[in-house]
Structure formats: structure tokens, C-alpha cells
A = this chain, B = another copy of it.
Amino acid sequence: MHNTIDMSVAQKVKIAIVGASGYSGEELVRLLLGHPHAELTAVTSRQYAGQTLAAIFPRFAGNAVADSLQFTEPNVEALAEAAEVVFLALPHGVAAEFAEPLLAAGAKVIDLSADFRLNDASVYEEFYGNAHPAPALLEQSVYGMPELHRDAIRNAKLIASPGCYPTSILLPTVPLLRTGIIKSTGIIANSLSGVSGAGRNLSAGFMYTECNESARPYGIPKHRHLSEIEQELSLAADAQVTVQFSPHLIPINRGILTTLYLAPTKKFETEAEETALAEQITECLATAYADEPFVRLLPPDSLPDTKNVAHTNYLDLAWRLDRRTGRLIMTSALDNLVKGASGQAVQSLNLLCKFDETTGLS
């Protein structure tokens, strides 16, 4: 069968990256250059075609592949020839035109854009403002969050790797929604993002002098990522979930810090009730994540800090009950380019190829 990937470790899986010159693409390059079972065979960039990886990303110089592999113009046939798995690190809306022919040619596709994350083309249209370019593919695409959809990822042909904000919101809340510990209503997510989250995007608002010494909200109240957040939360709650989500831009390169305001289904007005609820939450999260390699449940007196997850594939998670208000506060931190993008995509690659899930990620 031509689209089965040979996972014997002796032979490396051949990988291409389409759109390798953005920040997610660059981070994918970094991870795949260090991946023991992956061989980067093609990277595309219209802008940099003909130049080596090392010429465009001087930090990779000295690596034999980076010193020799040249960017090419994107060409579906050549990509399908060169690679068994193709990563798409393209702007939203462009991925479909590559995904379709690549899949037809037998390649597996891991897409980092939002194009295939939604199950419902009408939701896509509501949030992205145009009709979905390939609605048929939405049915076969798998939302690439291993902690939620590991088995489906293993057998997928088209993986839609999640967004950075959604990852920071879904991992804390899904287990609590699934077990009914929190209500599916009234969920608020307040997120802070480093500037690389905006992509390598020549825009006045992302110049150094505009971001340094600046903190600001944006995209409120209806950011596009809400669509995939609400889709996955609704699946977990088995009910339609509507979320309040407020992203903010802060002057760090990498990192997302999300603070979640949640309502437990049980009241906890006495110390005993609080203790009982705390134990339930502890057990729920431990059950969900104790064996997950990339979710770290912080010790009780710790809180997340983006600097502890920078350049790693970890999501750090802590929570507090507030008896004064009856709320559960959860906070999570991750690196938007790793667990929030390219690292999580490599996790999917590992699942797809039956490698150890942590290969190349620790």
C-alpha cells in the first residue's frame, strides 16, 4: 500500500515542509533537524528559493542538512516525490490547495494552519469570512492534539495541528468538562501571547518599538481561534459551549499564558466541600495527565511561568479554588511555537510513524 509509512527505525521517514520560512516553519526545521528518525528532504519558500536553510536561518549553520538543503518553489509533484509526510506551515486559507493534491499523491499531511481544524464548514465560514475551500477534507482531517485524539492521529492521513491559544485552553479544561466537574457555561479564557504568535508578519504593530514596553488586548471579543476551542469543548461537554476569550500581546518572544475562570458544578462553601472538590480535581487531572509526556501538573504551591516552558514541548498547568467567589481558576503556560505549533505537530508525526511519541522533542 503506497501510503503506509515504513516505520523501521533504521530507515528515516522523509519529510517536506511547505512554507518553511515563517516562525512555525523555522521551528519545525529546528525540531526535524534534530529528530533521529526524520530526514528533511524538501523545504519550500517562494521568497528564498535557491538559498540554503543556513543562509536564511543563520542559527542552523553548521548542521550538514541546513548547510546544503535549499529552499525550492513549492511544487506538489516534487513534494510528493520527495517526502512521505508533508508539513504545511502556510497562512490560513492557502493550505487546502496543497493538501488535496498531496493526499491524492499518497503523502500524509500535517497542516499547521487553521484550514482543517473545524468539523463544520459553516463554522469555518462564520469565523474566517469565506467559504471553506475543500469541505470534503474536513471529514477526514483529525484534530492533532494527541492528548485528546491520539488513536485517530495514529491512523490519519490529514492532521490539523491545533492552534496555540486553543492548546493552552483545551488541555486544562477538557478533562474537567468530560467528568462534569465544571459547568460548560460561563467559561472565560484570558490569554497572553508573545509576539512570535503573530507570525513573521511585516506589520507596524509588531515592530520592536511598538511591542516593547507595551501590553494590549486585541481581537476581542470574537477571535477566530474561538471556533476550534468551542468545537473541542463542546465535544468534551457533549453540549454546545460558548467561550469568552480575550487574547493580549505582551513583549516576550515566545510563550502563551492562559488564565481560565471556571465554575465547578458543585458548590464548595465549606472547607470540607472545598477539600472534597480539590481532591476530585486533583484525581481527574492526574488520571488524564499523569502519564502524558508533555503535560506537567505543577506542585500545589507553584504557578506557571512561560520561561519554564520556552523552547520545550511542555504545557504547565496549575489551579486554585476560590471559595470567596465559587470559582476554579486554572492557569497554563506553553511555548506557542513548540507545544502550540511545531512541537505538537512533531508529536503527531511520531504517532503517525509509530515512533516513541517524545522522539526529537526532549
Query: Is residue A202 within 8 Å, beta carbon to beta carbon, of the partner chain?
Result: yes
Give how many A residues have a beta carbon under 8 Å from the other chain's beta carbons: 75
Q: Which of B200, B252, B303, B327 contacts A244 (CB 8 A)?
A: B327
Residues of B within 8 A of A307 (CB): 59, 210, 213-214
Most B Cβ at <10 Å: residue of A195, A207, A309: A207
1/0 per position for A19-34, CB-CB distance to B under 8 A? 0000100000000000
Residues of B within 8 A of A63 (CB): 362
**Inter-subunit contact B207/A202 (CB<8 Å):** yes
CA distance A200 to B207 in the complex (A): 8
- A sample of 27 cross-chain residue pairs with beta-carbon separation below 8 angstroms, ordered by A number, consists of A62-B294, A62-B362, A63-B362, A188-B188, A192-B192, A195-B207, A195-B212, A200-B207, A202-B204, A206-B208, A208-B253, A212-B252, A213-B306, A215-B255, A215-B305, A217-B257, A218-B303, A220-B322, A222-B324, A242-B324, A243-B325, A244-B261, A244-B325, A244-B327, A244-B329, A248-B257, A250-B250
Query: Is residue A101 within 8 Å, beta carbon to beta carbon, of the partner chain?
Result: no
Distance between A186 CB and nearest chain B CB, rounded to angstroms: 8
**Inter-subunit contact B316/A212 (CB<8 Å):** no
Query: Is residue A132 within 8 Å, beta carbon to beta carbon, of the partner chain?
Result: no
CA distance A220 to B244 in the complex (A): 20
CA distance A312 to B214 in the complex (A): 14
Q: Which of B58, B213, B221, B253 contacts A325 (CB 8 A)?
A: B221
Q: Which of B190, B204, B294, B325 contacts A242 (CB 8 A)?
A: B325
**Inter-subunit contact A320/B221 (CB<8 Å):** yes
CA distance A188 to B216 in the complex (A): 18
Q: Which of B250, B253, B331 contacts A217 (CB 8 A)?
A: B331
Distance between A96 CB and nearest chain B CB, rounded to angstroms: 27
CA distance A195 to B299 in the complex (A): 25
Q: Which of B214, B261, B308 contacts A261 (CB 8 A)?
A: B261
Query: Is residue A94 within 8 Å, beta carbon to beta carbon, of the partner chain?
Result: no
Residues of B within 8 A of A248 (CB): 192, 257, 259
**Inter-subunit contact B303/A215 (CB<8 Å):** no
CA distance A217 to B331 in the complex (A): 8
Query: Is residue A302 within 8 Å, beta carbon to beta carbon, of the partner chain?
Result: yes
Distance between A362 CB and nearest chain B CB, rounded to angstroms: 8
